[in-house]
Amino acid sequence: MRVLFLIALGIFPFVLLAQERVITYQSEDKELTHIFKELEKAYNIHFAFAVDEVKGKKVSIHAENQELSSFLTLLLAEHQLSFEIVEENFISVTKASSVLLRMFIRDEETDEALSFATARIKGTDQGYIADVKGNFEMIIANPSEVILEISYLGYEKKEIEVGKVAPSKSLAVSLKRSPQELQEIIVKEYLNKGITIDDQASRISIDIQNMEILPGLSERDILLSAQILAGIGSADESAGGLNVRGSSRDNTFIYWNKIPVYQSAHYFGNISAFIPSSIGKVDIFKNHIPVSYGGASSGLILINSRMPTAEKAIVESNLNLTHGDVYTSLPFANNNGRISIAARRSFNDALATPTFNSMSNKLFDGSLTEDEQGISEDFEYNSKLVFNDLNLVIDFNTAGDNEFSLSALSSQSKLDYDSEDDENSIQSMQEHIVRTFGGNFTWDRRWLDRLSSEWSISYADYHMDYSLINIRDEIKGTEGDLQNRINDLTNLESRFTLTYAPQKKHVIDLGYQFNRIGAELTIHEDFFFEDDFSESITSEGNTHGLFASYFGKLGSGLQIGLGLRHNKYEALEKTRLDRQLRLNYELTPGLLLKSTAGVYHQYISSLKEVDFVFSNTIEQNWITADVEEEIPVIKNEQVVLGALLTKGGWVVDIDGYIKRVFAPVARNFGPQPDDEEKLISGIETITGLDLTIKRRWKYYRAWLSYAFQDSEVEAIDRLFTSGLNIRHQFQLSQTMIYKQFEFSLGYTIRSGLPYTSAHGFEAVDPGNGEEPFIEIMYEDLNSYRLPAYQRLDVSTWYKFKKKKPSTLAGEIGISVLNVLNTSNLYSRTFAIEENDQDEIFLLRRDRKLIGITPNISVRLKF
């Protein structure tokens, strides 16, 4: 919280200075341009003027505690200059015959900024270029005689008669897309005005800042929001454990400002590791993965930071029942640049709230902790969870042709756990630390109207350290049990993309991607009663990807997309070819038939760890494919057929798909028997159907999502159902907006997850002098299912706007997850236990999902 306070404290004076109206200043025979610069620096105000009208003019002035308006009148009167205070800190200086014109250019349909739009004075060569936010500032001489031509590639031109525009007022100019031009990408409402789909049905986008309420959300958590889409869910209800169409979570890659992110959530998956107030647009791909992003085999989520269009400083803060954050954004370089900072920290290490307690129950109820508690009345435990995030983004553009951005993120989660069993004289301690750091530099260049390029370089560093220690008091703490996992992953990624539009309605992308990847997984175990074990898996190598894609619109309704990517893995001395084909046909206006076929390869993957953790957490150990192919390069062959209807307030979206995933590691799909079988690779076949039906009325929206999924894994010489197989899932959601209130209600029901049951145990004598042991007798793998899952969620948002400059704006969110407190299970496993009478029995361990969980969020905009 100290970091948040210091950031807010550092920015607050700028907000106050913008409102200051008293000037103390003196100069002797000094040029006006120099005076303007000194005043801008001292009082955080900004002057706009025509250089020719001010150049060489000098002024002597002495003022003390003088009103701003009086001071400016005295300063400019000598040279017959006039002024106008356009905003609290923006001053226009002109002659009587000149006018300051300020415009912002937007897309007529989506209201998105048109970066680097151009304005030309009709009949001359004089022109202006907007900044990245689509904003212009210009001094126009003799405005009654000037007509401005506003243009942007792919849009119809518009003429503005400057003499009819109110002087010094901001003018919103909306351009209409030209149906004959290349960049005709129509964005349509999908679930609400902030969740949209493009007319190619290639991606679903979420505009977090403009998104309307969703069931169960008190704030705009991006990864939880994504799960409202059919085919995207989480088997364990977590934000970070996204399963796209039945694939394991590591098959979906997440990028933040082009930085690969390998730890996407805190509190062991419950809260996204992305600060909502700092996020802008999010693109989600599930039907295909662009060839410019190599490595993901099932899904791709591209998160982009917020790009405020306001020219003032922005300060926002948020507080809910688990954490607090602050976001600030400041313009610089005459609004051609902007620096944005966001910071967040949890506070439940100091104050346990009902929300935190519910999350803790999910972590520990039904875990090894609870098992011990059931056996010994003297068993006690406590845990301490804490996380923090820090984001930094700097954007800068020059003359409209170049845009530069620098991004950095830092994230950390930590669990400290300890327990004491006085009866058995055992003290257990668990420590879990996850740290993530990343940085990116991106350069966008627009060479010609139809030729542009993008070059980016990113670095990601992931570190996980997990230790479980048992100290035995009877031997004075000198001996005990230690289990430790250390996982490190570094990724240096560079990508260059050249985009060319040779003709109307045709786009070609060519590019190259380089990755330098290093991964290490160290497993160390020291046991008091059993043999010790130590193992380290290390890899380092380069990967190269050459890619090319084409998209075009042919005839009246046919769309075609082609993509190729050649991957070379130096460490494996192997190459792989990704390829994809997209064919769409607009049968009638608003009805699109769509199809996609593709082959994708994945070099980085993870091993799921569930056995040695002392809570209900699932650990992901990131690794790379190896030469021996114990850890293989994953290959996904995927075909999708569907249709999209968007018309008259209706959205009907249906996709049928089949996926064949080669070489997934068997342990990621649920087998419980011998460890040596868990690394064996196999083939997974997934067939499914996603259906979304939505109806929009003026203030009310309702939609039904249904996902069918059937997945089988062929591995370890048998055929079994995937542990991630959710056969049926229904989601009914509805939202209503009334004045400043938004209400939402959502109900989910789905099939229970598969598990492997046990019917008993038997004594095994291996002979050869080895000690006999007890072995659990299992049924067929994943041949049983947990009870059906049900959950009812509600939420309400109240938004309040500024009534005057001195007041606050913001929103208050209230949500309740699992209103009915339904007892849902995530997994069921079995273990051998022995009681005080030396009786051996089979213990069933059920791991529960989250119970009733309230939350309140307050977001303030200063």
CATH, residue 64: 3.55.50.30
Mean pLDDT of 849-862: 93
User: Does a structural domain hold residue 590?
Assistant: yes
Residues 89 and 114 in one domain: no
CATH, residue 156: 2.60.40.1120
d(CA 818, CA 683): 36
Expressed as residue numbers, the domain containing 108 is 98-175
Q: Highest mean pLDDT range out of 131-140, 289-298, 529-538?
A: 289-298
Rounded alpha-carbon distances, angstroms, from residue 840 to 233, 485, 767, 834, 844:
39, 30, 22, 4, 13
pLDDT in tens, 234-254: 988 888 888 999 998 899 999
Number of structural domains the chain divides into: 3
pLDDT in tens, 153-207: 667 888 888 777 765 557 888 888 764 333 456 678 899 888 999 888 889 999 9
Residues 548 and 523 in one domain: yes
Q: Which residues does 861 contact at the CB level (< 8 Å), separation at least 6?
A: 314, 315, 316, 802, 808, 809, 810
pLDDT at residue number 22: 80
pLDDT at residue number 482: 76
User: Does a structural domain hold residue 688?
Assistant: yes
Of 96-100, 411-415, 525-529, 771-775, least confident by mean pLDDT is 96-100
Of 387-391, 727-731, 762-766, least confident by mean pLDDT is 762-766
User: Does a structural domain hold residue 265?
Assistant: no
pLDDT at residue number 276: 94
pLDDT at residue number 154: 64
Percent of the chain with pLDDT over 70: 85
- Is the confidence at residue 514, as pLDDT, over 90? yes
Mean pLDDT of 840-849: 86
Higher-confidence residue of 127 and 6: namely 127
pLDDT in tens, 264-281: 998 877 899 999 999 999
CATH, residue 743: 2.40.170.20
pLDDT at residue number 80: 62
Residues 681 and 791 in one domain: yes
Question: How many alpha carbons lie under 13 Å from residue 646 in its C-beta half-sphere?
Answer: 17
Q: Which residues does 836 contact at the CB level (< 8 Å), separation at least 6?
A: none
* Reported confidence tier of residue 8, pLDDT bands at 50, 70, 90: very low
Residues 9 and 57 in one domain: yes
Residues 81 and 127 in one domain: no
Residues 90 and 104 in one domain: no
Q: Highest mean pLDDT range out of 110-119, 231-240, 437-446, 617-626?
A: 437-446
Of 217-221, 260-264, 315-319, 675-679, least confident by mean pLDDT is 675-679
Beta bridge partners of 528: none
User: Does a structural domain hold residue 532?
Assistant: yes
- Is the confidence at residue 668, as pLDDT, over 50? yes
Percent of the chain with pLDDT over 90: 42
- Is the confidence at residue 594, as pLDDT, over 70? yes
Average per-residue pLDDT for the chain: 83
Higher-confidence residue of 284 and 553: namely 284
User: Does a structural domain hold residue 225?
Assistant: no
User: Does a structural domain hold residue 206?
Assistant: no
Rounded alpha-carbon distances, angstroms, from residue 798 to 67, 82, 228, 736:
39, 44, 21, 12
User: Does a structural domain hold residue 216?
Assistant: no
Last residue of a domain, one of 175, 201, 224: 175
pLDDT in tens, 295-339: 899 999 999 999 886 678 899 999 999 999 999 999 988 778 899
Q: Which residues does 562 contact at the CB level (< 8 Å), separation at least 6?
A: 549, 550, 551, 580, 581, 582
pLDDT at residue number 634: 92
Last residue of a domain, one of 76, 94, 112: 94
E strands present in 89-134: 90-94, 98-107, 118-121, 127-129
- Is the confidence at residue 678, as pLDDT, over 60? no
* Reported confidence tier of residue 615, pLDDT bands at 50, 70, 90: low
Rounded alpha-carbon distances, angstroms, from residue 483 to 559, 606, 611, 615:
55, 19, 11, 14
Of 28-32, 445-449, 529-533, least confident by mean pLDDT is 529-533
Residues 612 and 564 in one domain: yes
Burial-class residue 146 by CB neighbours within 10 Å (0-12, 13-18, 19+): buried
Residues 499 and 540 in one domain: yes
Residues 6 and 125 in one domain: no
Residues 7 and 121 in one domain: no
pTM: 0.78
pLDDT at residue number 372: 42
Burial-class residue 726 by CB neighbours within 10 Å (0-12, 13-18, 19+): buried
Interstrand relation of 252-256 and 299-305 (parallel, antiparallel or unpaired): parallel
Q: Highest mean pLDDT range out of 105-114, 821-830, 835-844?
A: 821-830
- Is the confidence at residue 696, as pLDDT, over 80? yes
- Is the confidence at residue 371, as pLDDT, over 60? no
User: Does a structural domain hold residue 13?
Assistant: yes
Tokens of residue 700, six digits: 């009310």
pLDDT at residue number 48: 83
* Cα radius of gyration rounded to whole Å, the chain: 30
d(CA 389, CA 324): 10
Rounded alpha-carbon distances, angstroms, from residue 370 to 150, 381, 511, 858:
68, 10, 53, 35
Residues 838 and 748 in one domain: yes
d(CA 806, CA 834): 68
Which residue, among 638, 528, 770, has the nearest Cα to 246 in the 3D structure?
A: 638
Residues 585 and 637 in one domain: yes
d(CA 609, CA 716): 18
Last residue of a domain, one of 175, 193, 224: 175
